[in-house]
A = this chain, B = another copy of it.
Amino acid sequence: MNFASDNGSGVAPEIMSALAAVNDGAVPGYGADAYTQEACDRLSDVFERDVTVFLVATGTAANALNLAAITQPHGAVFVHERAHVHTDECGAPEFFMHGAKLLPLAGEHGKLTPAAVEQGLDGFAQGIVHHPQAQAVSLSQVTECGTVYSVAEIEALTALAKSHSLRVHMDGARFANALVSLGCSPAEMTWKAGVDVLSFGATKNGAMGVEAVIVFDEGLAADLPFMRKRAGQLLSKGRFLGAQMAAYLTDDLWLNMAGHANAMAALLAAGIEKLPGARLRHPVQANQLFAVLPKPAHKALVAAGAAYYPWEREPDGISVRLVTSFCTPAEEVEEFLSIAANAL
């Protein structure tokens, strides 16, 4: 029963096979190979337009490169106070941005609101030389509370952002999970809604280790080749990143895997809601679930070997995070729920 992280899962068999399939022969290094080109082409297909793509090894790098592409060193980026870029990347964005600031804002269920951004702007009047210059907004889709912005919510944020000349970054570490949740198109959830740059995750959803920096406004991409290399993120045997991403996007593999993970989370959520004394802390809209469990249920689960993390503090029980993945078996969900139920 592993609900600790989607990172704890292995690699989808289709993706593992793709690695072996591209192994033969000599090909150009550093992403100048045909497999990487194929990955880029597929991403342009997925987004229904030409996009500029830079494959990298980690989500941290994708986020940090994207933020650095839209923020100057004397700039600042509005983020949710629980944003992964703010709390869980050991300062990588600030490193890549050469010291630009992340300005944390509050917001229910992990979501930024136009009102919060507007209030944030109050304290950092643009154009005044003393203030760090607000230049961007970063939102996580899926959020760090497991919720998903609706397209309208994204559009409201980007509209405000653009009216203040702020660029918009989307941290899509769980992009597929959000997409499947909303049922819209990738284009609708991103550039059509005003997103400028996107971290397109694949690792958490069945890849081995590949994420895409995706730039919708080509003008923002000019320096990224150098920034990626300088960050140690230009892999020499680039074919193996390209092959992962191409396979990920083939035959709806990515959507099917995300769909499964979301379904398992929904199943889990439905069961937890029925447990006496348990509650969900946030709406469950993708593959992450934040709940408060009664102590006896928690004890029984831990004793049975269930893996998951405690998460923040709540007064009325054990606050936990549960994550499902592309390969979470329904049986594990059922087992989890039954152990919890029996303990109460």
Assess the B240–A209 pair: CB atoms within 8 A.
Answer: yes
Residues of B within 8 A of A234 (CB): 58, 60, 129
Main SS at interface, chain A = loop
A27: chain B residues within 8 A (beta carbon): 8
Q: Which listed residue (B10, B16, B26, B74) contacts A90, Cβ 8 A?
A: B74
With contact pairs A23-B11, A29-B8, A87-B124 given, residues A209 and B226 touching in the complex (Cβ less than 8 Å) = no
Chain B residue numbers with a CB within 8 Å of A164 are none
Closest to A57 in B: B57
Partner of A235, one of B58, B104, B237: B58
Distance in angstroms between the alpha carbons of A60 and B61 in the assembled complex: 14
CA distance A200 to B287 in the complex (A): 38
A91 B87 Cβ-Cβ under 8 A: no
Q: Which residues of chain A in 229-281 are interfacial with respect to chain B, using CB atoms and an 8 Å cutoff?
A: 229-237, 239-240
Number of copies: 4
A28 interface residue (CB < 8 Å to B):
yes
A88 at the interface (CB under 8 A from B): yes
Q: Does A198 contact B (CB under 8 A)?
A: no
Which of B91, B99, B129, B239 is the one whose CB lies under 8 Å from A225?
B129
Stretch of A130-138, A175-183, A189-197 on the interface side: A130-138
Q: Does A331 contact B (CB under 8 A)?
A: no
Q: Is A111 an interface residue (CB 8 A)?
A: no
Chain B: minimal CB distance from A56 (Å): 7
Measured in the bound complex, the distance between the Cα atoms of B94 and A133 in whole Å is 13
B-chain residues with CB within 8 Å of residue A59 when the two chains form the complex: 236
Q: Is A162 positioned at the interface, with any CB of B under 8 Å from its CB?
A: no
- Contact status B11-A16, CB under 8 Å: no
Alpha-carbon gap, A61 to B27, bound state (A):
23
Q: Are A90 and B19 in touch, CB under 8 angstroms?
A: no
Q: Residue A11 contacts which of B2, B123, B131, B237 (CB distance < 8 angstroms)?
A: B237
Q: Is the CB of A232 within 8 A of B73?
A: no
Is the beta-carbon distance between A229 and B130 smaller than 8 angstroms?
yes
Residue among A2, A5, A73 having the largest count of chain B Cβ atoms under 10 Å: A73
A233 touching B230 by the CB < 8 A rule?
no
Contacts of A307 in B (CB 8 A): 26
Task: Tell me if A43 is interfacial: C-beta within 8 Å of chain B.
Answer: no
Question: Are B209 and A235 interface neighbours, CB within 8 A?
Answer: yes
Chain B residue numbers with a CB within 8 Å of A26 are: 2, 4, 8-10, 307
User: Is A289 engaged at the interface, CB distance under 8 Å to the other chain?
Assistant: no
CB-CB under 8 A from A204, the residues of chain B are 236
Q: For the complex, what is the distance from the CA of A88 to the CA of B132, rounded to whole Å?
A: 7
Given A57-B57, A58-B234, A240-B209: A90 in contact with B8 (beta carbons within 8 A): no
Query: Which residues of B lie under 8 Å from residue A122 when comparing CB positions?
Result: 312-313
Instruction: Give chain B nearest CB distance to A145 CB in angstroms.
Output: 14
> Do B232 and A231 have beta carbons less than 8 Å apart?
yes
A201 vs chain B, min Cβ distance (A): 10
9 A-B pairs whose Cβ atoms sit less than 8 Å apart in the complex: A2-B26, A7-B30, A30-B130, A73-B91, A89-B130, A90-B130, A97-B99, A98-B98, A231-B232
- Ranked nearest first, the 9 interchain pairs of A and B with the lowest CB-CB distance are A61-B232, A2-B26, A7-B29, A94-B99, A7-B236, A10-B23, A60-B232, A90-B229, A74-B226
